[in-house]
A and B are shown apart, each in its own frame.
Chain A
Amino acid sequence: MIASSLLESAAALAITTIVLATLTAALGASGVTSHGAWELAHRMAEERHVEHLLDAAFARTLAAGGAVVECTDRTIALEADLDGNGTVDANSSELTAFTVVDRTGGRRALTQHLGRQSMTLNDTLPGDAQIRCVDAYGASATSAPLTRVVEVPVTATSTRMMVADFGA
């Protein structure tokens, strides 16, 4: 009888251990899933936020008859006479630029400049992030007026192509 009770206790202990281990594993996996979901939502929101700023800047400039005035692997600058007074005020948002700058730890950052003000949009870009200026034939544009498409790094893993000239 004592042997039978011992056997039952051992079996109960084994089952309890298995159940606890399974629940712990499920809890761990649930944590990983939640973290993954949060990371995905964060990445998509970050991407959309930067894309919205790019879309707004390009649409505003091109709709006002403006143009890309500088395009290098570090800077894309857009200029337009937004208020129609005949001049471009470089101290206002009539001059908008996006730049890729070096940050500590081998990282780079995308910043937006509106006139004399600037703000960082994303400072977690990889060390090789850069702007790419493309001409009408798919080659690297050698000057701003030849730029038709601009590829801008948006997040650590994604870039966004922007149409820079609808009059091509």
Chain B
Amino acid sequence: MSERGSGMLDAVAATAVALTIGAAATDLSGALHTLSMVARDADRLGTARNVLDHVVGAPCAPPPACPPELACTVSYEPIAASVAGAARATVTVTPAAEPAAIAVRLQTAVVAVCG
């Protein structure tokens, strides 16, 4: 093989190795990102469920404390004028550092007659 041909072969081999490493790094980075998203979503959903159950069980109590990395809000809308205290409670949980992120939102009906 000529010296020029050998040089080209080396260059092709080096490019192939570089591409393989690049692809592996991209895959790995994607996997890590997915993993952290799944973990975060699970935490947010768990928090939303806890807040919702607290609201259902103790509707006259202030909502429970939210983990510091999350922001939790509870809002109420009246749903039946004939039932005193009946409302639709909506629990919204977002990452505290990213208020614009897609929120986990859960709703339920509560009857809160607080004296």
Contacts and interface: CB of A to CB of B under 8 A. Distances in A.
Interface of A: 15, 19, 22-23, 26, 29-30, 33, 36-37, 40, 44, 47, 134-139, 148-149, 151, 158-166, 168
B35 A37 contact: yes
B35 A168 contact: no
A148 B28 contact: no
B57 interface: yes
Q: Determine the main DSSP class of B at the interface with A.
A: helix
A40 B32 CA distance: 12
B53 A26 contact: no
Interface string B9-38: 000001001000100110010011001001
A47 B45 CA distance: 12
Given A162-B57, A163-B57, 16 more contacts: A22-B21, A26-B24, A33-B31, A36-B35, A37-B31, A37-B35, A40-B39, A134-B58, A135-B61, A136-B60, A138-B61, A138-B62, A158-B46, A163-B56, A165-B57, A168-B59
Nearest to A157: B43
A160 B50 contact: yes
B42 interface: yes
A19 B21 contact: yes
Nearest to B58: A148
Q: Determine the main DSSP class of A at the interface with B.
A: mixed
17 contacts: A26-B24, A26-B25, A26-B28, A30-B24, A30-B28, A135-B61, A149-B57, A151-B50, A158-B46, A159-B50, A160-B49, A161-B51, A161-B54, A162-B57, A163-B53, A163-B57, A168-B57
B57 A164 contact: yes
Contact of B35 (A40, A149, A159): A40
